[in-house]
Amino acid sequence: MDLVYIRQLEIWTIIGIYDWEREQKQVVSISLEMGTDIKLGAENDAIEKALNYKAVAKRLIQFVEGSEFFLVETLAERISEIVLSEFKVPWLKLQLGKPGAVTGSKEVGVIIERGQR
């Protein structure tokens, strides 16, 4: 299996459990590895035959900007569901972070792996 990836896609959204977090957008950082077979796209040199990482990024930006979750865990699960179902990848690894959420740390968050059921 080959991997197509997106690193540190930053998107502003409402995320968090505290009152101030419900009123003020914060940045989340998404890194995503998606299992795929790049052979068909490479042989044809055609984006229509490849996993289009720009299309994935645009879809995630649209979704995350419009979302309002309490937990990064919930947001990570919803993102994985979108990528698996809409882009038909068999497997993904997603890292979702909240930069600056804990004093003294650069970022906190979750890493999940999911596959087709």
List the CATH number of the domain containing 15: 3.30.1130.10
The mean pLDDT of the chain is 96
Q: How open is the CA angle 101-54-116, to the nearest 5 degrees?
A: 80
pTM of the predicted model over 0.85? yes
Per-residue pLDDT at 117: 75
Range of the domain at 71: 2-115
How does pLDDT run along the chain (117 residues), one tens digit per residue? 999 999 999 999 999 999 999 999 999 999 999 999 999 999 999 999 999 999 999 999 999 999 999 999 999 999 999 999 999 999 999 999 999 889 999 999 999 999 987
Active site residue 58: no
10 Å CB burial of residue 33 (0-12, 13-18, 19+) is middle
- Active-site residue (options: 25, 88, 93, 98): 98
Count how many domains the chain has: 1
